[in-house]
Structure 1
Amino acid sequence: MGQWANDSDARAARGKGTAVAARAGLAARGVIYLLVGVLALRIAHNGGDGGEQADRGGAVQELAEKPFGQVLVWAVGIGLIGMALWRLSEAVFGAAGPDGRKARARLLSAVRFVFYSVVAGSVIAFAAGERGSGAGSTDEQSKDITARVLGWPAGQALVICAGAALAGAGVWIAVRAALRTYRRQLNLWDMSEGTRRTVDVLGVAGGVCRGLLFATAGGFAIQAAVAYDPDRAKGLDDTLRTFAGTPAGPWLLTVVAVGLVLFGLFSFAMARWRNV
């Protein structure tokens, strides 16, 4: 009873506005992952030709080229601001759920707030006309950041720790998806049995592929630190292209790309049914 009251207090403190921001943010995240997945599918189909960039920048550029593209980019940027504000409210007031007010959950929300603030800022900058911002290559950003940090005192250890953290986060994301822990955050009673089964397919397949992508990128960061070679660090686009270079060829990239599309659709489902 006490925990229920605490959860209700947290909800009241956040207010309805934050719930709207959360759902807008989840929908914006869905758009990004959906487009990245589509771009990765094109890369797999074209053998890497065509100059397309399967990352956030490429997704924003792809969106901008659609009818009413500028409006759509602004909408995604504003949605991501909503995501950042939602995570900030969780860090301050606590998240929904029995463990939402614990220090670990608040710290994780604070980290997500910083991440989505940076992402939202880059997309808004692109929408405002700074084409080098929102559409910047995550590959170049990864190499630049790695090179800068390697030049710091104990920089090699810092990059190894960051890579290990990213790889660990990828494994954590994949395992949680496989265990369907996201169900704790969903209003399952508002969903039909068929809808629950569909959401499970999206959540498990999409989450596992997303986790695999993060873990692989973390592994490349560790390699870059050990070799003291920032060019070995890879952003989202280069990491995805690496899958096509495995013995499985473009088929593995196709599987991961489909997984990212499914995660985008799962984000839309979360925007509709997540308990915020």
Structure 2
Amino acid sequence: MEEIWYQSKTAPTKYALLAGDGCHPDEADALQKYLECEYGVQEAAKKITEPILSEANPKESFYRLWALLCDALVELSDEECQKTIELLLAIQHLPSTEYFEWKELPGFGNMWHDLYQMHLDGPCTWEKENLTDERREELRRHFRRIGGVEAQLCLRGIGDIPLSWGFDVVNLVAQNRNGLDVLLSEVEVWLEVAGEELKGEVGKQSDEVRWYTRRVAQSAGGKQQSVGAALEEHWVVWKERLMEMMEDGSGLSDEGRKLAARCYDRM
């Protein structure tokens, strides 16, 4: 990755660092040297966490390192993304301190949610735009990366990412969203990476009621409602919705309908 990426993530001044505007320069430097193979993963884990350990209250500084690593997972190349996952695993295995245990990656899951899950809470600004094919494909790649990383973190026990987040993503298909033509890429990769685990959870046939927001069929104005049901029932609804999306006249592009079909096949 070009030098400019690391510079853009680094707090330009001490005051900016205190204000939360970027990471510590040594954190960015350690990540860069690791991704450029100057550091091994164990050495990088120690180097990148040293600035936090030197703080008077380390717990208040986790966010800046997690923000840096979350962005690396999403914005860098596939190879660099996988190396960053290995770095997080190495950080988890660092010795515990008097105040916290690295194996928990305190606050990492919250940071990931704040940076890369807000689209699950409601429509994004780009969903109101008339997207070009190029922009639509760019967004598909972006959300596919988010979903792929998230599912991997979940399966590898990194950052306390729960399997339930995968169901939150799959539930996008049941909502009235203009961006489904794009967001199906995230649904597909979650099913690709963690589909067996998701289906295993559904197969437990628990009586536990889970709540998800669904569109109200044939309602005017895109009305939605929160529905409580067993997970197995939600799964059936999601599959039915995907079948609808696969059809001509669904409002999706050709690629969107293909995405819906691949999602259905993985369920």
TM-score (norm 1): 0.32
Larger radius of gyration: 2
| Higher RCO structure (Cα 8 Å, ≥6 apart) | 1
The structure with more helix, counted as a fraction of residues:
1
Higher strand share: 2
